[in-house]
Structure 1
Amino acid sequence: MDAILEQLRALALQADDAGRHKVLDFMRDLRLQLETPHDTLSRFSGMHLEITVARMGEDLDIFKHLAESEQPLNIEALATKTGAAHSLLGHILRYLASVGMIHETGPGTFTANGVTRTLAQPGYRGGIYHFFDNIGPIFQAFPAFLAETKYQDINDPTKTPFQKAFATDRPAFQWLPSQPERFAHIQQVMTVQGAHGAPWFSIFPFEKEIDSFSGSPVLVDVGGGFGHQCTALLTALPQLRDKLILQDLPQTLELLQSHPDGIEVTPHNFFEPQPVKDARFYYLRTVLHDYPDDKCIAILKHLVDAFGPDSHILIDEMVLPTAGVPWEATTIDLTMMACLGARERTVAEWHTLLDAAGLRVERIDTYSPRRRDSIIQAVPK
């Protein structure tokens, strides 16, 4: 058995990205088949604790200290670096090692592994805080909210589990910017969301599409956060220098540590008329899944009003199949519902939404099959 498992491990580590995900899905299915009822309950009991202790690790900079050290660190050294009590720290480290977030090299001695180095990076560190501080309370409030509302559809951003969790009557995107620390964590995790795998502009024929376009700007990144997509585009296609515009709310752009060179940064609320006219592409990445249909139509119509003769919209979102939706997509779907009264959409729902905004689907290119992340090219009807 050990030899067979080692052979499978070696083959899996050599797989490409699609093969790697096939192995992950197979292992997930196999685990469920092998679980006893006790195993299932134990797995559920550990779900909340894992993110909780990961948050403790971030608070204490455990991942950062281990990732920066060339040698394993013992509990005494980490206690000195973190200021945590020796005994308490031992319990935390032991747990982190048991779930694979750090590696135990010997009694009371630990070093970084791949997960440690991931969690030491700002974007993924922000993800831990976002999932614990922002998403966690919302999920806790979700069952009671549904019971109180008699399990009716959630399509009003002012009446969701979010309001119950944070005792506010304001929608999430009005309340969160008033909480700078929480809001910063959202922006940080957005910089790494979907960071692995083929970039969208390598699957969608972006370079071919802009080849005959002589105007400027080439692309407006509407609601683009910290500009990670503009930066990726400029890195891949240096000829786009000074032809890319990043737009987001002033409170988001204020969190930028530095403005990306060669990219114009402009404050803008996408519920107001689009000030940049005649761009080749208006790009929306994971924007429309934050809003119900009526709000999305308003956003899209502002962009259509700014169109020049060559303008199109690129929508970077999940396009769900009608059956067999991947677990990552269903997770995000329910998260959007609980937080924002929104959802992920099927291909039929995208066609219906765009038609209501005076657009039609020109093409759909899926660049991340596992999550169904896709580029929808929308053009005037």
Structure 2
Amino acid sequence: MDSIVSQIHSLAQSTGEAGRLEIQRALRQTQVELQSPIEVLFELVNSTLGVSVVRMSTDLGLFGILAKSSESLSVNKIAEASGASPDLLARILRYLASTNMIMEAGVNQYEANKTTHVFASEKGEAMVLHGFDFHAVIMRVMPDFFKETKYQDVTSNKYIPFHKAFNTNLSCFDWLIQHPEHFTPFQKAMTSIEGSEWTEGFDLLESEIKKLPSTAAQSSERTFLVDIGGGHGHQSIQLGQKYPNVLGRLVLQDLPTTVENLAIEGVKVEAYDFFQKQPLVGAKFYYLRRVLHDWPDNDATKILRNVAEAMSTDSRVLIDDTVLPDTEAVWQGTMADLALMISCGGKERTRRQWELLADAAGLRVEQIHSYVAATYTSIVVLALK
């Protein structure tokens, strides 16, 4: 058995992202085939319990306590640091170790493993809080919602499981802004997945960046990239750090409440609602990262039409989002699709769905640049018809 595990580890280290994903898929399938019927049912129950235990462990700071220690800690030591009863803590820690979230080092002795450090990070804690306090509440009412609506697909965000869960008429994003205890973890979780990896191997972008002068941008110069719905500008900042000559040629747009008092060197900040007419005409690129998947097709079409009306013939829309495959989608993509559906009425789209959406807005899909195999994250490049 040890030799088989060693071979799997060796294979994983010698392959790329797509290969690593295939190994995980094969191992999950093997596990399913090896499970007895009762084990399948127990795992289902455990999936709910596990989320609750992780949420409680986050409140107690258990992951952080273990992650900060360079050696294993006794139950009593962890109890002193967390304030929990040693007897209760012994049961919680035993469960966490049995599910590989922490590591058992001996009798009543525990230490951190890779998963512990993930949950102890700011990103991990934000994901736990957002997942349990927000998404889990919506998931709880999901069966009743679809029973009431006779199991129809969600095509509008006017009434979705989110509204039933939180008893509100507000949209998801308006509600989050009014509830900082939910909005703060949401913002941290979203910020943690920003990066410049989308530019890697993206020849269209790099070729256009090479054409830019290395001198300071002139006031009459064409805007290079408009970061629409870009929040606090993390993507613009990342792009400017990687390609300094784009600074002064970038514009960040988001709602007034988001960009109020926001200042980013080399980035012009504008208050803008993407359901309104796009004020920046003729930019080279209009960039939307994880924006359109938050909206049903009708709203996403309106957003794209506003961009299309501002484009020049050589302008391009860069949609940084998921492109689901037609078959054999991994669970991360299908999970995100359902989570978006019940929380904000959005969806993850296949290539065909992106093509239909673009066509409805007077655009066409020119190319798709995929850059994260595990989540099908891609740049969908749109041009005018």
TM-score, normalising length: structure 1? 0.91
Provide the C-alpha distance between the structure 2 equivalents of 1:248 and 1:84, rounded to a whole number of angstroms. Answer: 43
| Contact kept in structure 2, 1:336 and 1:343, CA below 8 Å | yes
Provide the C-alpha distance between the structure 2 equivalents of 1:87 and 1:261, rounded to a whole number of angstroms. Answer: 53
Structure 1 residue 204: Cα displacement = 2.0
Provide the C-alpha distance between the structure 2 equivalents of 1:260 and 1:316, rounded to a whole number of angstroms. Answer: 22
| Contact kept in structure 1, 2:17 and 2:374, CA below 8 Å | no
Is 2:220 aligned against 1:220?
Answer: no
Partner of 1:48 in structure 2? 48
Is 2:201 aligned against 1:203?
Answer: yes
Partner of 1:137 in structure 2? 137
Provide the C-alpha distance between the structure 1 equivalents of 2:194 and 2:26, rounded to a whole number of angstroms. Answer: 21
Structure 1 residue 259: Cα displacement = 5.6
Provide the C-alpha distance between the structure 2 equivalents of 1:173 and 1:15, rounded to a whole number of angstroms. Answer: 40
Find the partner of 1:280 among 279, 284, 287. Answer: 284
| Contact kept in structure 1, 2:367 and 2:380, CA below 8 Å | yes
| Contact kept in structure 2, 1:124 and 1:188, CA below 8 Å | no
Partner of 1:361 in structure 2? 365
Structure 1 residue 253: Cα displacement = 4.6
Provide the C-alpha distance between the structure 2 equivalents of 1:370 and 1:44, rounded to a whole number of angstroms. Answer: 24
Structure 1 residue 328: Cα displacement = 1.6
* Residues 274 and 65 (structure 1), Cα distance of their counterparts in 2 relative to 1, 3 Å cut: farther
| Contact kept in structure 2, 1:124 and 1:192, CA below 8 Å | no
Question: Which AA in structure 1 matches 2:289?
Answer: R
TM-score, normalising length: structure 2? 0.90
Provide the C-alpha distance between the structure 1 equivalents of 2:270 and 2:181, rounded to a whole number of angstroms. Answer: 22
Partner of 2:190 in structure 1? 190
Structure 1 residue 309: Cα displacement = 5.3
Is 2:241 aligned against 1:235?
Answer: yes
Structure 1 residue 295: Cα displacement = 0.8
Provide the C-alpha distance between the structure 2 equivalents of 1:266 and 1:86, rounded to a whole number of angstroms. Answer: 53
Provide the C-alpha distance between the structure 2 equivalents of 1:379 and 1:221, rounded to a whole number of angstroms. Answer: 17
| Contact kept in structure 2, 1:219 and 1:279, CA below 8 Å | yes
**Tell me, what secondary structure is at the counterpart of 1:7?**
helix
Question: Which AA in structure 2 matches 1:298?
Answer: K
Is 2:8 aligned against 1:8?
Answer: yes
Question: Which AA in structure 2 matches 1:88?
Answer: L
Structure 1 residue 66: Cα displacement = 2.0
CA root-mean-square deviation: 2.3
Is 2:297 aligned against 1:293?
Answer: yes
Structure 1 residue 263: Cα displacement = 3.6
Provide the C-alpha distance between the structure 2 equivalents of 1:259 and 1:34, rounded to a whole number of angstroms. Answer: 56
Question: Which AA in structure 2 matches 1:273?
Answer: K
Question: Which AA in structure 2 matches 1:237?
Answer: Y
**Tell me, what secondary structure is at the counterpart of 1:317?**
strand
* Residues 353 and 7 (structure 1), Cα distance of their counterparts in 2 relative to 1, 3 Å cut: closer
Find the partner of 2:379 among 353, 359, 375. Answer: 375
Structure 1 residue 170: Cα displacement = 2.1
Size of the alignment, in residue pairs? 377
Structure 1 residue 160: Cα displacement = 1.0
**Tell me, what secondary structure is at the counterpart of 2:200?**
helix
| Contact kept in structure 1, 2:209 and 2:246, CA below 8 Å | no
Structure 1 residue 30: Cα displacement = 0.5
Question: Which AA in structure 2 matches 1:51?
Answer: V
Deviating more after overlay: 359-368 vs 100-109: 100-109
* Residues 268 and 30 (structure 1), Cα distance of their counterparts in 2 relative to 1, 3 Å cut: same
| Contact kept in structure 2, 1:203 and 1:366, CA below 8 Å | no
Gaps of 5+ in 1: none
Deviating more after overlay: 58-67 vs 155-164: 58-67
Partner of 1:105 in structure 2? 105
Partner of 2:218 in structure 1? none
